[in-house]
Amino acid sequence: MEDNNVRLRELIVSDKPKVAKLINNKKIWDNVRDYIPYPYDQDDAETFILGTKEKLPRQALAIVFNDELCGVISLIVQDDIYKRSAEIGYWIGEPYWGKGIATKAVALITHYGFKKLNLIRIYAGIFEYNTASMHVLEKNGYKKEAIFQKAVFKNNQIWDEHRYFILNENAVKKHNMS
């Protein structure tokens, strides 16, 4: 999957030094779930990368900009009655911020989720202070669905979570006609 100078590819074990170096950043950790360790080392990166191999088709992918790994993006497919929905998550290493990479990566994985994973709905929960991520989603057609009041406990503070979503309209129409 590629959009000019941004592409998504499978993560490989040799990515671990770069993944560890980029995500071991408090500014990134402040915007992700606490299950991602901080500080983050190469052992954490290796465990994560090996874990991505368990899901086929792949749900977590490397974001590559000008042939350099610069972040990770994933779709966490839900289960049971939510099996056609996924939560999107992504981070970009700080040296690559402000270049439009996240916007292109979200477009690529959204298309992948709808076409390859056969999803109907993709959603994201964004901390209230992460307006850059909100803009990335909005540029890709995601709509704000709700604000979950005081739903997030991060860095010993309570925050609102802004919930965004996008629908695979073709899949919705197809299923409603059958």
Q: Strand order of the sheet with strand 6-10? A: 2-3, 6-10, 60-65, 68-77, 85-92, 121-127, 157-167, 143-154
pLDDT at 48 (0 to 100): 96
What is the pLDDT confidence band of residue 145, given thresholds at 50, 70 and 90? very high
Residue 105: which H helix or E strand, with range?
A: helix 101-115
Whether pLDDT at 41 is above 80: yes
Whether pLDDT at 1 is above 70: no
User: What does the pLDDT average to over 118-124?
Assistant: 97
**Token couple for 143:** 């709509």
d(CA 121, CA 124): 10
d(CA 87, CA 145): 14
Whether pLDDT at 143 is above 80: yes
**pTM of the full structure:** 0.93
Whether pLDDT at 76 is above 90: yes
Whether pLDDT at 54 is above 90: no
pLDDT at 139 (0 to 100): 98
- The dihedral sign for the CA sequence 145, 61, 36, 76: positive
Provide the 3-class DSSP secondary structure of residue 158. strand
